[in-house]
A and B are shown apart, each in its own frame.
Chain A
Amino acid sequence: MFYRETGQFKTNYADDMAVFPILQDRLGIALILAVAFVLIPLTGSNFLLSSVMIPFLVFSLASIGLNILTGYTGLISLGTGAFMGVGAYACYKLTTLFPEVNIVVWIVASGFFSSLVGVLFGLPSLRIKGFYLAVATLAAQFFLQWCFTRIPWLYNYNTSGAIEVGQRTLFGIDVTGPKASLEARYMVLLTLVTVLTWVASNLMHGRIGRSFMAVRDMDIAAELMGIDLLKTKLLAFAVSSFYAGVAGAAMMFLWYGGGEANDAFNINQSFLILFMVIIGGLGSMIGSFFGAAFISMLPTMLKFGLPALGIPLAGATAEHLTYILVGALIIFFLIVEPHGLARLWQIGKQKLRMWPFPY
């Protein structure tokens, strides 16, 4: 009843081409942004910020990146974790070499380094397709991971072999390092995610997004229409890796506050982000958020949810059960809706539009 576009006529093409053509959608987005920017930082507990929101936002960014590559362009990558790592290490090097430049600038700039590496490993994509490409991206994953641990220059010859996040400020407020408040880190991250989501959405709604999807749906036809396959695929790798890189830098500097590559940027991380993209919905922006929310919050929910239901959990057993449940849920969701949570969302919206009639 409330979700209806009846009576909302478009009188020019610009209105019709808006990302959210329906008034109710625009209101919804405004509400979500208001909650995220105002309500959560003001009232959210430390637990909500540190264990729920910050991981969710970091993973959303990485999911959007992988979704651009896999969902929109149809190129499967199992190297997202490594590309995130490139971003994190680039950011670390940049901020140690030029500490006076603002850290937020470096977090964004590190995405470009990740882009470069992504393009390099994307080069084979012209000749290799499908699962073969997926395996090829594993080369990136393992090679880069090896670099992270074997090239001491990358971690500034720290004896720990890990990234150590120093204290950096923005407008005089600590945003990284041990003294930075959760709220400050959250706000910086949220701003980054909001802006970058907007940019990704813009790209995907225009010429570039269309050529990505054309390559995904029918690469031969796309080529016969004048879309240069190599350029398009490399651009997809560049954009995707940029997002992964920023996500990786944000993960290290705004979430973990330092750490080692083999923990943060390993193959499991790559798989996890692929899960998010597929469970959320391939080729859907909002799906990336759904997937990130689902997968990043699942272990937390199980950890605190199961004891609440009266199922007592010891540490190791909890971990094993989480594995089983994650596995089972992945299969369950694939069976219920192979097109992901985003499709469920669409079906829900369609039902709302028709309500109270069934169809």
Chain B
Amino acid sequence: MSATDHSIRKGEVLLAVDQVSLSFGGVKAITDVSFDIRKGEIRAIIGPNGAGKTSMLNVINGFYHPQQGRITFKGQTRSKMRPSVAASQGIARTFQNVALFKGMSTLDNIMSGRTLKMNSNFFWQCLRHGPAMAEEIRHREFVEDIIDFLEIQAIRKVPVGKLPYGLQKRVELGRALAMEPDLLLLDEPMAGMNLEEKEDMSRFIIDVNTQYGTTIALIEHDMGVVMDLSDRVVVLEYGRKLADGTPDEVKADQNVIDAYLGVAH
């Protein structure tokens, strides 16, 4: 993608992180970081290990509560929020270490992503007839579309604990997609994958972005992938923001080069 593409696709601000600081006891994980994510873009968060990237995602979807700062999502500002509320507002995510429901099949895992969209009452659930069954079938159809999209038809009924790592990552993406999120957070979606699997995953990410119009924020260590995929990149180091801009801008930034290549003091 060329630089001109990026500027075209920038929409309104979907999520803004404003001067967020987070610490555990005496350890500062994030210090005074601000950036925004715009509608429809692919936003990368990069940085060395321990830079506070995952903590940042945890703050965004309400798992960690920052001591300072505000998060604005879809125009609503909040400082504290329960993760389940963040989910109901349209934030979905995948995890660095695959966090699938190991005892359940691929199908059930992805179906569980539909939980928030299902609302048939307890009585019908007990009978598994009428509205409950109709709802179940409706959502099964939606989930089957995702299964087709991710090309995992063959492992539909396999317990995910038995799947190889690359497929688990794919199922996890499927589960997040099933939530029909407005903002999809991907925490190292390609960690531990070989080249072919990375290419597949990149293709899925781009397709999700273009077909469904989902805004994506991703953490990734593979610079090639980051530079190719993302519209804008934010760089963190030791919990602080180092740089923010298009891939080309970031690549040229002296601070970033120093952080990644080391600098003679």
A interface, CB within 8 angstroms of B:
12-14, 17, 199, 202-203, 205-208, 210-211, 213-214, 216-218, 220-229, 283
- Chain A residue with the shortest CB-CB distance to B88: A226
Partner of B99, one of A203, A221, A229: A221
Rounded to whole Å, the gap between the CB of B138 and the closest CB of chain A is 9
A210/B108 in contact, CB under 8 A: yes
The answer to whether residues A203 and B87 also contact, given A224-B61, A225-B112, A225-B175 and a CB cut-off of 8 A, is: no
Partner of A225, one of B108, B113, B132: B113
Q: How far is A170 from B112 in the complex, measured between Cα atoms in Å? A: 43
B92 within 8 A of A: yes
Q: A13 — which chain B residues lie within 8 A by C-beta? A: 136-137, 140-141, 144
- Chain A residue with the shortest CB-CB distance to B95: A221
B103/A203 in contact, CB under 8 A: no
- Chain B residue with the shortest CB-CB distance to A16: B140
> Binding site of B, secondary structure by majority: helix, strand, loop or mixed?
helix
Partner of A216, one of B84, B95, B103, B125: B103
Given contacts A207-B115, A214-B115, list 5 more A-B pairs with CB under 8 A. A199-B126, A203-B126, A206-B132, A217-B104, A226-B88
Q: How many residues of B contact A (CB 8 A)?
A: 40
Q: How far is A218 from B126 in the complex, measured between Cα atoms in Å? A: 25
- Contacting A at CB under 8 A, from B126-167, are 126-128, 132-133, 136-137, 140-141, 144
Q: How far is A205 from B137 in the complex, measured between Cα atoms in Å? A: 13
Q: B108 — which chain A residues lie within 8 A by C-beta? A: 210, 213
Contact pattern, B 81-103, Cβ under 8 Å of A = 1, otherwise 0: 01110111000110100011111
B133/A224 in contact, CB under 8 A: no
Q: B257 — which chain A residues lie within 8 A by C-beta? A: none
B137/A17 in contact, CB under 8 A: yes
Interface centre among A207, A213, A225, A283 (most CB of B within 10 A): A225
B118/A207 in contact, CB under 8 A: yes
Rounded to whole Å, the gap between the CB of B112 and the closest CB of chain A is 5
> Binding site of A, secondary structure by majority: helix, strand, loop or mixed?
helix
B238 within 8 A of A: no
- Contacting A at CB under 8 A, from B24-68, are 61, 63
A203/B101 in contact, CB under 8 A: no
Q: A211 — which chain B residues lie within 8 A by C-beta? A: 112, 115
B125/A214 in contact, CB under 8 A: no
- Contacting A at CB under 8 A, from B241-262, are none
Q: How far is A358 from B182 in the complex, measured between Cα atoms in Å? A: 49
A218/B140 in contact, CB under 8 A: no
Partner of A214, one of B101, B118, B128: B101
Q: How far is A224 from B85 in the complex, measured between Cα atoms in Å? A: 8
The answer to whether residues A210 and B125 also contact, given A217-B104, A218-B102 and a CB cut-off of 8 A, is: no
In order of increasing CB-CB distance, the 5 nearest A-B pairs are A226-B87, A202-B128, A217-B101, A221-B99, A226-B116
